């Protein structure tokens, strides 16, 4: 402990944050100035990691919620050697590795992409669950911690309710969160928007809560020491901090605690840029320097952290030598690889709803994929994830040997937790709810896609055939929304999402195969509530034929020189089969039927293959229980799509099929009307 160095280091972080924002003419300097003391004490005295091996699986993890405080992270990691001077000097610029809001970059210490408030700390809860899950299987030596950093805005976001409830309920004592409570928001002070007792709220969820002066280094040490020693509860450290700590005016007077310093360079406020740098011990002529004594301190610290990690690694090596089989299993989990799976052995009864077929697949996976965690938003007996639950048990406080997470009614929280599970590594996350409630999950789905995480989303009750529950539960526009993500490329240049709507049980098995093999981006399985007539096999094995769905689309019915090609996915494929029977029998037409489980994957195939399935020189007719736009890109300008352009109604599914025109007879008439126009 060196009070002088501690203060210099915190002030160095403050000065760097100020300088980054000033040079970029964009950013948030005030918050990082308030949080600098906590960050320095955390990383210099408590945070366990290996500077020479940043991706070490058993490192502590830091999850930033307040992504606008990115300069706080970049400044701290610059002191630790993870960034160079040019990196921090080019904050928010094209091509820099210091974007305005942090983007996952584990090699430099950034564990998660953050920005949308509330999601960052919820991902941290997910990482803490993953750590507990693995610890229950491999031993108490796996005792790394997960730290979160949240601001007033993150606490106010509704998702904090779900994250706080679940973390407390599960007793995640390995999760420690610092609340940078400075009473200032972007446009107001907090007392203009809230009067809640945050400490009491978290205590009611089962958290250990301590309130400290967030600039008192001794208080920070004690709070972190106690949090690390806590055995039953997650800890919230409420640090009362000052927005813009260290800012001064041109006259040298304090200019702290003002709303103005939240979201703009301090030179645009009542503070003076150069005088503030001088007040913090920085050189205005070279504001991105690390102070000499601070640099010496951190160089020695890096050596100490590396040595500490080496001791921990030696402990782990000893465990490995005594537990070779377990060690091999752990390495396999962490590799992200899959065990050998044979989806062809999964038997399905005839005419199942695809949610029921999915249940059978999940039961198989529960017995063969040991590191899968499945979660449901209080719907396991309806979204049929209970097929998995029946082969394991729910995760509970003090018992993480199960593999099922009962999230309660909290779709967004559940999805963010899944992102955290994936970011931690070693587990395969699956989350489920009704398709219409994917609307609650969109912010997390977007971050799954942006971070390129292999989260599996299971969405059931996929169309208006939900029936009597009515329009609030009947998805119409959701498929169009989700499939847009198949058209959006991630930073690796690939489609950012894989959306799969299988036509029957065999395709459901194939869809799950595709989902599990899709490791670097999220997958959505869109499944029916009602039973679906299975597509007839053309040969000996319907499953083997359905494997063609791995190309995104294929012909489930094929004749030479067809008069028309019918196109659909999901439940509507069976409706097209019924329509085709009428068209062939009563109208002497030759009909091909294409099942396009994923337009995104289909578009990745060769032009020759695409044209062999959906030839442009033939009449093309699409059928979708969602918005017509779902298939308009496939049928083209000369084709026709029959879909739904209105909300649903409350009535039995078969009645809605008839009223909306989704019967074989009515679709056949639509096709005939279309053929008159070509």
Structure tokens at 603: 């578009």
Q: What is the DSSP string of 99-110?
A: -SS---BGGGTB
Closest listed residue to residue 558, CA positions, set 581, 588, 534, 590: 590
Torsion sign (Cα): 53, 56, 60, 61: positive
- Neighbouring C-beta atoms of residue 123, cutoff 10 Å: 35
SS3 420: helix
Inter-CA distances, 642 with 92, 107, 422, 424, 557, Å: 46, 50, 39, 44, 20
Q: What is the H or E stretch that residue 424 is in?
A: helix 411-424
Beta strand 372-376 with 235-240: parallel, antiparallel or unpaired?
A: unpaired
Q: Are 384 and 375 within 8 A, CB to CB?
A: no
CA distance 39 to 51: 17
Residue 369: Cβ-neighbour burial (10 angstroms; 0-12, 13-18, 19+): middle
- Bin 390: left if φ > 0, else alpha if -120 < ψ < 50, else beta: alpha
In angstroms, the CA 133 to CA 124 distance is: 14
Per the residue annotation, which of 103, 157, 256, 411 is the catalytic one?
A: 411
Closest to 147 in 3D by CA, of 259, 28, 61: 61
Give yes or no: 411 in active site.
yes
Residue 276's contacts (CB-CB under 8 Å, 6 or more residues apart) are 15, 18, 246, 247, 248, 255, 266
Alpha-carbon distance of 40 to 299, in angstroms, equals: 14
Q: Which two tokens stand for residue 562?
A: 């067809």
Residues 483, 318: Cα–Cα separation, whole Å: 49
Element containing residue 289 per DSSP (H, E): none
CA distances from 240 to 38, 148, 219, 220 (A): 11, 16, 11, 11
Quote the tokens at residue 613. Answer: 């399935």
**CA dist 126 to 120, 152, 335, 406, 425, Å?**
10, 21, 19, 13, 11
Q: State how far Cα 325 lies from the chain centre.
A: 32
Using alpha carbons, select from 103, 133, 205 the residue that is nearest to residue 163.
205
Distance CA 631, CA 565 (A): 13
- Known catalytic residues are 411
């Amino acid at each position: 402990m060196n009070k002088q160095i501690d203060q210099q280091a915190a002030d160095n972080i403050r000065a760097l944050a100020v300088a980054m924002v000033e040079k970029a003419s964009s950013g948030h300097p005030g918050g990082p100035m308030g949080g600098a003391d906590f960050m320095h004490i955390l990383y210099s005295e408590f945070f366990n990691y290996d500077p020479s091996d940043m991706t070490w699986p058993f490192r502590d993890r830091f999850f930033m919620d307040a992504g606008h405080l990115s300069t706080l992270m970049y400044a701290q990691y610059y002191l630790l050697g993870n960034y160079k001077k040019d990196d921090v000097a080019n904050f928010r610029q094209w091509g820099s590795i210091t974007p305005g809001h942090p983007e996952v970059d584990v090699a430099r210490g950034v564990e998660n992409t953050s920005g949308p408030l509330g999601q960052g700390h919820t991902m941290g809860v997910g990482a803490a669950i993953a750590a507990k899950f693995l610890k229950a299987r491999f031993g108490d030596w796996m005792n790394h911690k997960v730290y979160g950093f949240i601001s007033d805005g993150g606490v106010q976001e509704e998702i904090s309710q779900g994250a706080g409830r679940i973390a407390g309920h599960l007793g995640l004592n390995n999760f420690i969160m610092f609340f940078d409570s400075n009473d200032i928001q972007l446009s107001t002070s907090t007392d203009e928007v809230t009067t809640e007792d945050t400490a009491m709220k978290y205590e009611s969820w089962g958290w250990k809560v301590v309130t400290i002066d967030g600039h008192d280094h001794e208080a920070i040490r004690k709070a972190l020491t106690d949090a690390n020693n806590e055995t039953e509860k997650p800890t919230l450290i409420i640090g009362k901090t000052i927005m813009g700590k260290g800012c001064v005016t041109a006259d040298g007077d304090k200019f702290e605690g003002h709303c103005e310093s939240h979201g703009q360079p301090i030179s645009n406020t009542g503070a003076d840029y150069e005088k503030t740098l001088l007040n913090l011990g920085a050189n205005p002529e070279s504001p991105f320097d690390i102070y000499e004594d601070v640099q010496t301190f951190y160089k020695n610290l890096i050596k100490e952290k590396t040595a500490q990690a080496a001791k921990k690694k030696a402990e782990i090596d000893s465990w490995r030598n005594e537990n070779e089989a377990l060690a091999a299993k752990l390495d396999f989990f962490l590799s992200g690889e899959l065990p050998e799976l044979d989806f062809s052995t999964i038997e399905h009864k005839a005419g199942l709803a695809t949610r029921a077929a999915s249940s059978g697949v999940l039961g198989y996976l529960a017995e063969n994929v040991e590191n899968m965690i499945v979660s449901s938003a209080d719907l396991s007996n309806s979204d049929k994830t209970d097929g998995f639950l029946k082969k394991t048990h729910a995760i509970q406080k003090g018992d993480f040997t199960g593999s099922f997470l009962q999230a309660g009614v909290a779709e967004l929280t559940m999805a963010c937790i899944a992102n955290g599970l994936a970011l931690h590594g070693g587990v395969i996350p699956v989350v489920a709810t009704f398709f219409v409630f994917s609307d609650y999950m969109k912010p997390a789905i977007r971050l799954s896609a942006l971070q390129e995480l292999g989260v599996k989303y299971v969405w059931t009750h996929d169309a208006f055939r939900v029936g009597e529950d009515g329009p609030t539960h009947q998805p119409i526009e959701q498929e169009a929304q989700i499939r847009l993500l198949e058209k959006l490329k991630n930073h690796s240049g690939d489609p950012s999402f894989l959306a799969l709507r299988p036509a029957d049980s065999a395709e459901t098995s194939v869809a799950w195969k595709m989902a599990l093999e899709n490791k670097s981006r999220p997958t959505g399985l869109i499944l029916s509530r009602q039973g679906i007539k299975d597509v007839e096999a053309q040969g000996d094995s319907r499953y083997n034929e359905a494997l063609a769905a791995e190309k995104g689309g294929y012909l489930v019915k094929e004749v030479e020189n067809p008069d028309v090609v019918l196109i659909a996915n999901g439940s509507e494929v069976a409706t097209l089969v019924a329509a085709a029977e009428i068209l062939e029998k009563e109208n002497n037409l030759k009909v091909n039927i294409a099942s396009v489980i994923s337009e995104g994957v289909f578009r990745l195939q060769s032009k020759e293959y695409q044209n062999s399935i959906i030839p442009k020189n033939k009449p093309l007719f699409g059928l979708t229980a969602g918005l017509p736009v779902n298939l308009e890109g496939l049928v083209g300008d000369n084709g026709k799509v029959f879909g739904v352009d209105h909300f649903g109604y409350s009535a039995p599914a078969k009645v809605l099929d008839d009223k909306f025109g989704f019967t074989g007879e009515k679709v056949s008439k639509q096709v005939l009307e279309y053929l008159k126009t070509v």
